[in-house]
Structure formats: structure tokens, C-alpha cells
Amino acid sequence: MLTFLTAQQMIDEAKKVADTVDIEKVKDLRGSGALVLDVREPNESQEGHLEGAIAIPRGVLEMKISDEESDHQRTIVTYCASGGRAALAAATLRKMGYIAVLASEAGFNDLQAAGLPCSKPN
């Protein structure tokens, strides 16, 4: 028999595969050379993103990640608007063999409010 999951159940399952981190840890990881991935949709990331972040929407992550990062050992931090897509993306990356992947529990607005440097469109 097939089992169907809600979006929240899928996010909860993803958080079991990939660890989540708080704002302070995101700050530390940004400063340590981690790859920061903005997995929001293009219209969202165009309105602003963490400085230095690479934008790869979650829907195309599997096809695009190797263009940006081939080192499966490098620490990767994912973030989105609220944390759900970040967890799903991190779990996907773990399944693809990236071993040091973490998902931000905080969304972009919370990261920005916490003082992380952000780029905004001109």
C-alpha cells in the first residue's frame, strides 16, 4: 500500500537526513568558507540574498549543483524563506553524496534581521 506524506511530513523527514542550524551557526559557517546556497525561487532571490550566496532553486538543484560545487566534502549551508525548502534541499544534497550539508532553520528575512550581510538589487 502506498503511503502519502504531507509537505510538513516531507520536511520533517528531510530534517532527519540533514542537520539544521540556527542563525549563529549560519554566521559562523559563512565566515569559514562554507558554500551558502539560496534555494528560493528566482523571483525571491532577486529581491535580495545573503552576500556571497549562490542561487540555485530547489526545483533544479540536482541538475545545477555540480556546476557550482564538485567537492562532496565542502560544507554547504542551504537557506530559503522559512526553512522548509532548505531542509528538503539539504536532504537531497546528502542523498547525492555531499556529506557536510546543513539547512538553516531561519529564513532569509530572519537572517537579514540578524545582521547577516545581504545584497539587494539596484
Given 56, 61, 80, 111, the catalytic residue: 80
- 80 in active site: yes
Give the contacts of 96 (CB within 8 A, at least 6 positions apart): 62, 65
- With H, G, I as helix, E, B as strand and everything else as coil, classify residue 100: coil
The Cβ of residue 83 has, within 10 Å, a number of other Cβ atoms equal to: 19
For 52, the 3-state DSSP assignment is coil
For residue 113, give the amino acid letter: A
CA distance 106 to 23: 6
As annotated, the active-site residues are 80
